[in-house]
Structure 1
Amino acid sequence: MKRQRQAKIIATLGPSSRTAAQIKALYHAGADVFRLNFSHGSHYDHLRSYQIIRQLELEVQSPIGILMDLQGPKLRIGTFVDDSAKLKTGNTFRLDMDDTPGTEER
């Protein structure tokens, strides 16, 4: 079944929506692409979802997109002297990995 719309509908799969029945229902409700969020869930969970989607693709004889959302690096801001720092337009600010409390310069 080829869909005629220009936009794609993306459905994010999670613990309550990764069963074969749920994935099939989401597809028939209009989902074109399934998003697997690798920030959550195990690799086995995502492998199983992938296999279910590919099986559904064979059943409906139409390509189904899979978006694998990979977790990027986690950057966290530490503490600041006096609990905050006010950055001024035009000034230089250095971002580093030092554990020393930050200032308006770093």
Structure 2
Amino acid sequence: MSSPPDNVQPREQCRLAEILQYKCVAEDADKGQLKVHCLPIPRIFRICPNRPAVEMTRFVDVDLESGAVHIPAPSSQVLPKAKPWRDVVRYDNPFDNGRPEG
């Protein structure tokens, strides 16, 4: 059995992380008081070393009894390629996309 060449690094392991966000809606209650209803929104992210995190929420299967998360194999082909925030281009006018007027 041969060992990998020195310049080949072992495949880095990705991990899953979950954050719980809330969406809240305010409504008028009795006597002019405000009542707030909040619903939890769980989000699951794949975090790999030296790469931006990618939200996987829509692609994962969660076992509601055990909480186990399964990522379908073809999800890597479906997900868009992520890039770091420092590489995101921001345009002053969101409608011109850097194109000259005219």
TM-score tier, shorter chain, comes to under 0.3
Larger RCO (CA under 8 A, 6+ residues apart): 1
* Greater percentage in strand: 2
- TM (normalized to structure 1)? 0.17
